Amino acid sequence: MRALVQRVSEASVTVDGTVAGAIGPGLLVLVCAMRGDTEARSTWLARKLVNLRIFRDDERRMNRSLLDTGGSALVVSQFTLAAETKGNRPGFSTAAAPDEGRRLYEHFSEALRAHGVTTANGIFAADMKVALVNDGPVTIWLEG
């Protein structure tokens, strides 16, 4: 699975003019299931994410995790993270098939919740509008 993670002071996702999910301080996670990914990979990525020390401590160092801060996660499906860009038109053949992608996306969100993280979601395969205030800015690429 691949994830692009942004530390945010707030983020939301809107579908057809309605807010589908919103958080305050925490992480916006754009996530893509790749062909061949498993629930074990999804679980590993969730564990990595909640323990990733990218929040500031009292000395303003990135030394605290999502679990340490009690922050939330907004998880948005993003199959374009699988883009193959050899030419000028990206291809997405390495992304998981839609049914499998949805299953692993939902599993990932549940794995975050199992760690005690308040988790909001976008709507899988919908045309979404994502709004965020990137804190830092901090943006991290994870693959696992």
Out of 6, 14, 78, 119, pick the active-site residue. Answer: 78
Q: Which of 98, 119, 99, 97 is nearest to 108 (CA)?
A: 119
85 is annotated as an active-site residue? no
Out of 80, 94, 118, 139, pick the active-site residue. Answer: 80
Separation of first and last alpha carbons in the chain? 5
CB burial of residue 105 (10 Å; 0-12, 13-18, 19+): buried
Strand ranges (DSSP E) for 16-122? 18-23, 26-32, 55-56, 62-64, 72-77, 119-121
78 is annotated as an active-site residue? yes
119 is annotated as an active-site residue? no
Out of 6, 14, 55, 79, pick the active-site residue. Answer: 79
Q: Cα–Cα distance between 119 and 86 in angstroms, integer?
A: 35
Catalytic residue list? 78-80
